[in-house]
């Protein structure tokens, strides 16, 4: 009942937004709308100090991307752990490190989950997203919150900003995506310029799907076609942002985001198992604000603030306990404050300092009399000094991060306070006269703190856990050339890396209760990421684009030389991954093709035939068409996922969907 | 090294892993008379909970051949399913209780070829008496299977989340764990094998899981406690009076398999040593049965072979990769070691 009421409110809200916009639009139709068609090519900037991959909203269609996880799956070094289907959990592993080593930034501020350390990337709908960038190590800018320095890699999500003129002070985009899995996803975006300084944007969507799909390959029924059930999704999101800018050097923004979802969890495909009726509800809200000012003296200030609350309820209505059900309700709250200052001492020398304070709290309502968590609260204080220096053809950047973490719990033992120094050093060298060819290298030492689950989850967590440390070494070369002939540009990057994980936190039901999570593992990862991007002009109206990425990962368990699993490949890590993306733009028409090839993987440490997951090659194709209807730009697109209807698994016992379709229609007024 | 990661979608799964997968195994009461000549042994590997990868390892004594998944070999195209929790051989058949696949597989004990299947929701353990098989189910009952027709003839309601059973004095003793609730059960139900009715309920240490008996008709119950404020321990029941005889002070760990050999009871203690309790002297007579320094990391199953006096200990190691089976002679010296599957939770001997 509660959820229904919420959905009702949301619909009302949409109507409230749509109605005034329409009337606004009607009074404004006399104004001439000019769509500027761009058929040039901008050379992607991949020659950064750290390996950087990015995708912007215009390219989402090329990758058949529906959510953030889809959009970044081609990036070299990225492995999306996909539990399948429209509501299935999707997390990323970057360069063989666990999902909790990657920070997710939403307009520069981290989205945190202190309980699990993992962010489900399937919940970010792309409608309001302008750009997604993956930085290995960290973003190269030194004037940023300390949190951005504090992970092994960073996925930075940037939302659409209003880009309007006094001539046309508003823009409304309405669209709908629909297709397989019973998907219906209408969305709306309203951009409004208030005056010279103020503007706002509101994004909203609803997403409903039954999520059902056919699959093959279940144990004991390898050739039967079965249907994935209890996989329905209902999600709504509303995101509003208010912007103030005096000029480029004096800016403020305020963001409010509310996400509500209700989904079924289809569970693992298990022989003769009781069909799952498990459900998951999320209600997440955050408010964040950011202020940035750059003085003529070269001083830069960046202030960020965030307040968030996330609520998660898990229900298994057929659990064999006294209550006959398992009903877990988690509420997490976060307060976040960040101040960063940067100063150009000399033209070629900049220093910065950032301080972040984060307060995380987790409380749980549990249908047992005992609390499952002792209400942990964590205060994280981060201080970072960073500097960059340009010496001719050499650019050096480095920082030292101090992390001070203290925790309290209402009952039992809290984790010991942690005070850790983490260095990073990065450099690029342009050895030749022109800057087409560059060399780069970085070293980063960082850790991921144990999550509340790791530390305190009843019967599993232990408060004595140490953080999981990673040392990353990277050496790479980039070549980028903007051309004027047949090709617009050619960009090639190659990075070899070595990652060393120590004190890896592993879930291990130990005999000496209650030690169940332990700092057990050591992992060595040797890898290579190669990417090629090019665009060519096939004719006056025809543009061809190719992006090819290759990743090699040898990720070995080096915990115990006497163990049978020593030097085995860690689970869910393919040695070879190829991602190919190509497409043609002809006038207003685009045709795109994406292919991901993954070598086989193992789902346990044994690396034996029983835990083998075959490799796969999956192709997606899409077409889109831009046209003007009634003076308004319209985009229509058609996407086919898993074009050749491959039956495959990314996660053991979680089948992926076969061929599926999606159509989209979007109009901007 | 990415093992069972806790993430919020699967948090309850992890919870269940702790409560169910981490060891609730039952002790074989080879109710048949001792057989002189063994063909070999089976090890039932639970696999990972939710991984649908339970396997049956077969070790042939004569050829010393080790077959990692005898069931899949004997039944092409078939796999056991998720979390095989118990295996027993009765007559010419073996019965495999596959907990999360809600099925009891009945197969030829020698060839492994499947004869039939009995659907029982959340089935856990099996024992036999006459023409009946008794299977505990987390539904809170013992279901009676007629071994000739392989149909369920009776549901006997006991306590919460019943685990292992043992027969003593023509009575069936059922450990009611209640282990899926934060307040566990703490009773053993006594079922008459003539009336099939619950005659008695005996209070024991909280969360009873493993049961066995001795030559004098005592019933031994190992309990896990509530993983927190209430410690686990051993309760000894006198099956003549159906009263608690004693609760000897023992240090119980997270794994509580138990086996008996005559008047000696073998079970692991919190420090992963194998303790021996004597029903003659009514005390622990050995704090570690293993005398040659062999170290067990995670004693997941333990089984005595009364025909040879050997004690077999299955080691689950890190609970996520292949375990081992260590065979010890009666003086506690390692005879041989086999690599078995993930979470080896039960051992059964098969005759020639």
> What pLDDT digit, counting tens, does each position of A573-625 carry?
999 999 999 999 999 999 999 999 999 999 888 898 888 999 999 999 999 99
Interchain proximity A270–B14, CB inside 8 Å:
no
Interatomic CA distance for residues B129 and A571, integer angstroms: 44
pLDDT score, position A322:
85
pLDDT score, position B24:
32
Provide the chain A residues 634-663 that lie in CB contact (below 8 A) with chain B.
Answer: 652-653
- Determine the 3-state secondary structure of A387 from DSSP: strand
Interatomic CA distance for residues A24 and A477, integer angstroms: 52
Q: Which residues of A touch B82 (CB under 8 A)?
A: 268, 270-271, 273
Mean pLDDT (whole number) for A394-423? 95
Interchain proximity A507–B6, CB inside 8 Å:
yes
Q: To the nearest whole angstrom, how far is the Cα of B42 from the nearest Cα of chain A?
A: 18
* pLDDT band of A14, cuts 50, 70, 90: very low
The size of the A-B interface in CB pairs under 8 A is 205
Q: Any chain B CB within 8 A of the CB of A221? A: no
Interchain proximity B101–A273, CB inside 8 Å:
yes
Chain center to CA of B68: 20
Mean pLDDT (whole number) for A527-548? 95
Interatomic CA distance for residues A130 and A104, integer angstroms: 15
Interchain proximity B14–A314, CB inside 8 Å:
no
Interchain proximity B14–A460, CB inside 8 Å:
yes
Q: Which of A511, A519, A563 to mutate to test the interface with B (most CBs of B within 10 A)?
A: A511
By CB atoms closer than 10 A (0-12, 13-18, 19+), residue A305 is middle
Does A550 have pLDDT greater than 60? yes
Q: What is the maximum span of chain B, computed from C-alpha positions, in angstroms?
A: 53
Provide the chain A residues 358-397 that lie in CB contact (below 8 A) with chain B.
Answer: 368-370
Beta-carbon count within 10 A of A538 CB: 12
Provide the chain A residues 542-571 that lie in CB contact (below 8 A) with chain B.
Answer: 557, 559, 563-565, 570-571
pLDDT score, position A532:
96
Structure tokens at B189: 């139900």
Q: Which residues of A touch B228 (CB under 8 A)?
A: 370, 458-459, 514
Which of A93, A508, A611 shows the shortest C-beta gap to B318? A508
- E strand or H helix that includes residue A65: none
Q: Which of A604, A606, A607 to mutate to test the interface with B (most CBs of B within 10 A)?
A: A604
Among A147-156, A252-261, A411-420, whose mean pLDDT is lowest?
A411-420
pLDDT score, position A412:
84
Q: Any chain B CB within 8 A of the CB of A605? A: yes
Structure tokens at A369: 């009399």
Interatomic CA distance for residues A479 and A531, integer angstroms: 10
Provide the chain A residues 180-209 that lie in CB contact (below 8 A) with chain B.
Answer: none
Q: Which residues of B touch A98 (CB under 8 A)?
A: 2, 5
More reliable by pLDDT, A30 or A503: A503
Query: Which phi-psi region, left, alpha or beta, contains residue A64 (left: φ > 0; alpha: ψ -120 to 50)?
Result: left
ipTM comes to: 0.82
Interchain proximity A270–B82, CB inside 8 Å:
yes
Interchain proximity B181–A120, CB inside 8 Å:
no
Q: Any chain B CB within 8 A of the CB of A311? A: no
Tens of pLDDT, residue by residue over A162-180, are 989 889 999 999 999 999 9
Structural contact between residues A515 and A504, judged by C-beta atoms closer than 8 angstroms: no
Q: Any chain B CB within 8 A of the CB of A485? A: no
**Rounded to 5, what percent of chain A is helix, strand, coil?**
10, 55, 35
- Phi (first) and psi of residue A571, to 5 degrees: -60, 150
Structural contact between residues A667 and A634, judged by C-beta atoms closer than 8 angstroms: yes
Interchain proximity A113–B11, CB inside 8 Å:
no
Interchain proximity B140–A83, CB inside 8 Å:
no
Structure tokens at A179: 């297709």
* pLDDT band of A185, cuts 50, 70, 90: very high
Structural contact between residues A588 and A627, judged by C-beta atoms closer than 8 angstroms: yes
In sequence order, the 6+-apart residues with CB closer than 8 A to the CB of A609 are none
Q: To the nearest whole angstrom, how far is the Cα of A471 from the nearest Cα of chain B?
A: 16
Q: Which residues of A touch B183 (CB under 8 A)?
A: 322, 368-369
Average pLDDT, chain A: 88
pLDDT score, position A340:
98
Residue A514, preceding peptide bond in cis (omega within 30° of 0): yes
Q: What are the average pLDDT values for consecutive 10-residue runs of chain B, which has 352 residues?
A: 31 34 33 62 92 94 92 94 96 96 97 97 97 96 97 97 96 94 92 96 97 94 86 95 95 91 94 94 95 94 94 91 93 94 95 91
pLDDT score, position B332:
94
Q: Which residues of A touch B19 (CB under 8 A)?
A: 459
Interchain proximity B50–A653, CB inside 8 Å:
yes
Mean pLDDT (whole number) for A103-122? 90
- What percentage of chain A exceeds 90 in pLDDT? 71
Question: What residue of A is the nearest CA neighbor of B84?
Answer: A271
Q: Which of A469, A513, A523 to mutate to test the interface with B (most CBs of B within 10 A)?
A: A513
**8-state DSSP, A232:** -
* A427 beta partners: A396, A441
pLDDT score, position A41:
66
Q: Any chain B CB within 8 A of the CB of A286? A: no
Interchain proximity B1–A501, CB inside 8 Å:
yes
Q: To the nearest whole angstrom, how far is the Cα of A378 from the nearest Cα of chain B?
A: 19
Q: Which of A101, A320, A362, A373 to mutate to test the interface with B (most CBs of B within 10 A)?
A: A320
Tens of pLDDT, residue by residue over A371-383, are 677 889 999 999 9
What is the side-by-side strand order in the sheet with B187-192? B162-168, B171-176, B187-192, B198-203
What is the side-by-side strand order in the sheet with B233-238? B208-213, B218-223, B233-238, B243-246
Interchain proximity B182–A510, CB inside 8 Å:
no
The closest of B140, B101, B141 to B118, measured between CA atoms, is B101
Q: To the nearest whole angstrom, how far is the Cα of A466 from the nearest Cα of chain B?
A: 16
Q: To the nearest whole angstrom, how far is the Cα of A148 from the nearest Cα of chain B?
A: 23
- Determine the 3-state secondary structure of B102 from DSSP: coil
pLDDT score, position A368:
53
- The structure's pTM equals 0.87
Which of A272, A312, A321 shows the shortest C-beta gap to B8? A312
- Determine the 3-state secondary structure of B282 from DSSP: coil
Interchain proximity A89–B7, CB inside 8 Å:
yes
More reliable by pLDDT, A381 or A540: A381
Interatomic CA distance for residues A462 and A131, integer angstroms: 39
pLDDT score, position A19:
33
Q: Any chain B CB within 8 A of the CB of A239? A: no
Interatomic CA distance for residues A114 and A373, integer angstroms: 13
Interchain proximity A272–B52, CB inside 8 Å:
no
């Amino acid at each position: 009942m509660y959820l229904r009421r919420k959905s009702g409110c949301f619909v009302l809200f949409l109507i409230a937004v749509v109605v005034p916009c329409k009337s606004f639009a009607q009074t404004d139709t006399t104004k001439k709308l000019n769509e500027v068609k761009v058929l040039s090519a901008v050379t992607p900037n991949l020659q950064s100090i750290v390996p950087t991959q990015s995708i912007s909203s215009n390219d989402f269609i090329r990758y058949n991307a529906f959510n953030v996880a889809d959009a970044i799956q081609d990036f070299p070094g990225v492995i999306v752990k996909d539990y399948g289907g429209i509501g299935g959990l999707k997390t990323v592993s970057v360069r063989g490190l666990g999902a909790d080593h990657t920070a997710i930034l939403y307009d520069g501020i981290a989205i945190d989950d202190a309980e699990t350390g993992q962010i489900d990337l399937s919940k970010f709908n792309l409608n309001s997203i302008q750009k997604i960038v993956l930085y290995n190590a960290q973003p190269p800018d030194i004037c940023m919150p300390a949190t951005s320095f504090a992970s092994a890699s960073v996925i930075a999500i940037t939302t659409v900003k209003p880009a309007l003129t006094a001539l046309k002070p508003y823009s409304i985009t309405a669209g709908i995506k629909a297709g397989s899995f019973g998907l219906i996803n209408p969305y709306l975006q309203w951009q409004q310029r208030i005056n010279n300084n103020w503007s706002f944007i509101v994004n909203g969507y609803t997403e409903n799907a039954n999520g059902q799909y056919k699959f093959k390959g279940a144990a004991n029924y390898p050739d039967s076609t079965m249907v994935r059930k209890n996989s329905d999704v209902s999600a709504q999101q509303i995101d509003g942002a208010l912007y103030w800018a005096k000029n480029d050097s004096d800016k403020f923004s305020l963001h409010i985001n509310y996400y509500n979802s209700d989904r079924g969890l289809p569970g693992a495909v298990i022989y003769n198992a009781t069909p799952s009726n498990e459900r998951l509800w999320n209600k997440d809200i955050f408010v964040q604000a950011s202020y940035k000012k750059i003085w003529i003296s070269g001083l830069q200030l960046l202030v960020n603030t965030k307040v968030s609350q996330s609520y998660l309820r898990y229900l298994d209505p057929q659990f064999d306990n006294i209550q006959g059900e398992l009903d877990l309700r988690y509420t997490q709250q976060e307060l976040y404050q960040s101040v960063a200052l940067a100063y150009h001492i000399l033209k070629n020398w900049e220093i910065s300092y950032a301080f972040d304070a984060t307060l995380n709290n987790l409380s749980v309502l549990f249908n047992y009399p005992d609390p499952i968590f002792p209400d942990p609260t964590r205060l994280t204080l981060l201080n970072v000094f960073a500097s960059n220096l340009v010496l001719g053809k050499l650019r050096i950047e480095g920082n030292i991060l101090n992390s001070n973490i203290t925790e309290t719990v209402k009952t039992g033992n809290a984790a010991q306070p942690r005070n850790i120094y983490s260095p990073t050093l990065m450099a690029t060298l342009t050895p030749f006269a022109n800057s087409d060819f560059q060399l780069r290298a970085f070293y980063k030492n960082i850790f991921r703190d144990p999550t509340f689950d790791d530390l305190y989850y009843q019967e599993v967590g232990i408060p004595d856990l140490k953080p999981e440390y990673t040392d990353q070494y990277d050496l790479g070369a980039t070549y980028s050339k903007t051309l004027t002939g047949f090709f617009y540009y050619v960009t090639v990057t190659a990075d070899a890396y070595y990652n060393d994980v120590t004190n890896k936190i592993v879930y291990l039901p130990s005999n000496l209760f209650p030690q169940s999570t332990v700092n057990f593992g050591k992992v060595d990862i040797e890898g290579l990421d190669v990417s090629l991007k090019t665009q060519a002009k096939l004719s006056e109206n025809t543009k061809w684009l190719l992006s090819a990425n290759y990743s090699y990962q040898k990720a070995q368990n080096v915990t115990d030389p006497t163990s049978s699993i020593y030097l085995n490949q860690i689970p869910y890590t393919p040695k070879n991954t190829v991602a190919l993306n190509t497409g043609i733009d002809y006038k207003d028409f685009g045709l795109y093709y994406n292919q991901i090839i993954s070598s086989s993987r193992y789902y346990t440490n044994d690396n034996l035939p029983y835990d083998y997951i075959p490799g796969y090659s999956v192709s997606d194709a899409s077409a889109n068409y831009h046209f003007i209807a009634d003076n308004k730009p319209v985009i229509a697109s058609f996407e086919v996922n898993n074009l050749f209807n491959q039956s495959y698994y990314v996660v053991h016992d979680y089948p992926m969907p076969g061929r599926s379709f999606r159509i989209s229609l979007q109009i901007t007024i | 090294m990415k093992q069972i990661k806790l993430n919020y979608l699967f948090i309850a799964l992890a919870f269940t892993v702790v409560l169910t997968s981490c060891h609730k195994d039952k002790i074989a009461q080879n109710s048949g008379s001792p057989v002189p000549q063994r063909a070999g042994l089976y090890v039932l590997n639970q696999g990972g909970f939710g991984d649908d990868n339970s396997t049956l390892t077969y070790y042939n004594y004569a050829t010393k051949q080790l077959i990692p998944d005898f069931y899949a070999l004997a039944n092409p195209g078939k796999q056991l399913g998720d979390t095989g929790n118990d295996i027993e051989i009765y007559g010419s058949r073996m019965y495999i209780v596959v907990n999360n696949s809600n099925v009891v597989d009945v197969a030829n004990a020698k060839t492994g070829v499947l004869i039939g299947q009995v659907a029982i929701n959340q089935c856990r353990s099996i024992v036999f008496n006459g023409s009946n098989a008794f299977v505990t189910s987390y539904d809170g009952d013992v279901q009676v299977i007629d071994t000739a027709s392989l149909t369920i003839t009776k549901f006997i309601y006991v306590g919460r989340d019943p685990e292992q059973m043992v027969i003593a004095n023509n009575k069936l003793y059922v450990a009611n764990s209640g282990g899926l609730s934060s307040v566990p059960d703490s009773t053993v139900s006594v079922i008459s094998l003539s009336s099939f009715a619950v005659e008695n309920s005996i209070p024991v240490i909280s969360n009873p899981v493993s049961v066995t008996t001795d030559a004098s008709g005592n019933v031994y119950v190992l309990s896990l406690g509530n993983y927190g404020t209430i410690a686990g321990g051993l309760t000894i029941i006198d099956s003549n009076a159906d009263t608690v005889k004693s609760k000897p002070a023992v240090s119980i760990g997270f794994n509580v398999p138990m086996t008996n050999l005559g008047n000696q009871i073998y079970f692991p203690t919190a420090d992963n040593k194998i303790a021996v309790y004597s029903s003659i002297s009514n005390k622990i007579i050995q704090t570690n049965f293993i005398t040659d320094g062999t170290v067990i990391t995670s004693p997941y199953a333990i089984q005595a072979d009364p025909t040879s006096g050997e004690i077999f200990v299955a080691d689950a190691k890190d609970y996520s990769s292949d375990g081992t089976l260590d065979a010890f002679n009666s003086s506690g010296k390692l005879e041989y070691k086999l690599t078995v599957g993930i979470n080896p939770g039960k051992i059964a001997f098969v005759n020639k």
